[in-house]
């Protein structure tokens, strides 16, 4: 798949990306970033401080990412523990069946 130019607008600035992703994907990403930057601005950061707003928005987005990764890791740990318990249960039942067949 070839690369396409996708133009997005983030906080009043246009950026052109070369990507194989659908334009709609990066439009949603830009919309999310814009929303986070607007939240920062609405919290009282002067709109003239675009760099400050962008950095604070990126910190918020990164914190969300880290939280999602932590939740994902916790879920994987739970699934692995349950899979282990199920596997041990099945092995115990197989051993019980094999033992009763030997008698």
Sign of torsion over alpha carbons 4, 7, 10, 14: positive
CB 24 within 8 A of CB 9: no
Q: Give the pLDDT band (50/70/90) at residue 45.
A: confident
* More confident: 103 or 89: 89
Does the pLDDT value for residue 67 go beyond 70?
A: yes
Q: Give the pLDDT band (50/70/90) at residue 63.
A: very high
pLDDT in tens, 9-37: 999 999 999 999 999 999 999 999 999 99
| pLDDT, mean of residues 53-82 | 96
Does the pLDDT value for residue 73 go beyond 80?
A: yes
Which of 16-25, 31-40, 41-50, 53-62 is least confident? 41-50
Does the reported pTM lie above 0.75?
no
Single out the residue of 32, 30, 33, 4 nearest to residue 19, CA to CA.
Answer: 4
């Amino acid at each position: 798949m070839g690369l396409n130019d996708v133009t997005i607008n983030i906080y009043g600035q246009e950026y052109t990306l070369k990507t194989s992703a659908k334009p709609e994907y990066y439009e949603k990403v830009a919309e999310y970033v814009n929303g986070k930057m607007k939240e920062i601005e609405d919290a009282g950061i002067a709109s003239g401080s675009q760099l400050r707003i962008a950095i604070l928005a990126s910190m918020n987005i990164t914190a969300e990412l880290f939280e999602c990764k932590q939740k994902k890791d916790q879920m994987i740990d739970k699934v692995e523990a349950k899979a282990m318990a199920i596997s041990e249960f099945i092995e115990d039942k197989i051993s019980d069946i094999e033992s009763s067949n030997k008698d």
